[in-house]
Structure 1
Amino acid sequence: MDKNNPSAIFPILLWLLVSGIIMAAFQAAAEKTGAFTDVDTAAAGAASALLIPAYVLMLRRWKLPAYPIERKRPLSRGPWLLAAGGAGAVLSLLYGWLTAKLHLSEYFTDDVQQHFYSAPLWQQLIVLCMLTPVCEELLFRGLVFGSMRRKISGWKAAVFTSVLFSVLHGSPIQMLYAFPMGLVLQAFLHMEGGLEAPILLHICANLASVLTEYILR
């Protein structure tokens, strides 16, 4: 891999490969020993834990700062981080309300998400609200967007990254949410000047979703 001309496809293929291998291993272990009752969540957490350091190393090796503008001073970044956290929670709650209001769950099933929500709360908090958001932001806003931005304009790279972010979420109901959320994540990446804001936004969005589902269950 040429570090001066990185490919946006390679980190995605790595994600699919690692996730697939770990999921298969966890499913085999569950069938053989019965040790894993929440295979999807456990496998997603293990894959993210392995991929996070790999993606950090790739960002450094490829010299992808990810942000298209000069980083803001620490004091000026605080409001953007607070806004990102609030936006994540609000958008997640709004999506949940719209899903119920429009009865989208009657037309689209989301078995994967339901499997995630069936895991113990502590496991959801670690995997869905910590490991997964960090891993996905390093992948999409870091590696994918950063490598695309070297070849095409920033706004085109942002749109293409959001499309990939949506498609790779799998189910139609998740795609409907992931594309606009991807654009919002890209906007905060640009405005704050680093990956911290989109990571925090993603964490707060997932946290709001997990806690809402837990309370209403």
Structure 2
Amino acid sequence: MTNASRIHGHDARKVSALVGANLSVQPGEFVAIMGPSGSGKSTLLHLAGGLDTPTTGAVRVEGTDLASMSATQRAVIRRRSVGYVFQDFNLLPSLTAAENVAFPLELDGWPMRKARREALAVLAETGVADLADRRPENMSGGQAQRVAIARALVGPRRLLLADEPTGALDSSTGTDILRLLRGRADNGAAVLMVTHEARFAAWTDRTLFLRDGKIIDESGPSDPTQLLAQGAL
């Protein structure tokens, strides 16, 4: 991401959601994003994953400028290479947990049985294998979140984007999920996570701090708690 800005609206209604962001996340690196509500954290993730395009600047995934691609081409990149955990889960209500997790693989041409086997394996990793045949309406918020995380992790994801992945989880389960994300990074994926929990940011290799759409600071894994205590956020 090079000098990327995202502006919504025009003239008096213009809002700068992200301003001049420069960020590079390497394979095998786990990066946390922290900042107050409205600071641009989700906007940064949307740009990084090709869900939105910058007003100015460039966003590249594996060397390809996402703005130069069509919407269909960006969708293919997201389906094959990018796993995304949304704050509101975005599970398809008519599908079971296993079907939700297998869905992106099937869209990419995987045989149904192979996709289901992969989905069941990742559901087991996130601790919800027993929900495989349950639909979202019959899940708690924490269960739905773990299914959504499983969907993001399934298949050969090279970039993982997680927007508050532990928000609906208890402390113990949240730690389990952080361990999974850390493991994916250690196995070569680039991981970018929005969190408001300094203890979870401590699992990462570095932490970016945003305010008013700007990256204002960057620290190593042990520093978020210190900055919070100092009132920097």
TM-score, normalized by the shorter chain, greater than 0.5: no
Q: TM-score range by the shorter chain?
A: under 0.3
Whose helix proportion is higher, 1 or 2?
Answer: 1
Whose strand proportion is higher, 1 or 2?
Answer: 2
Task: Point out which structure has higher relative CO (alpha carbons under 8 A, 6+ apart).
Answer: 1
TM-score, normalised to structure 2's length? 0.25
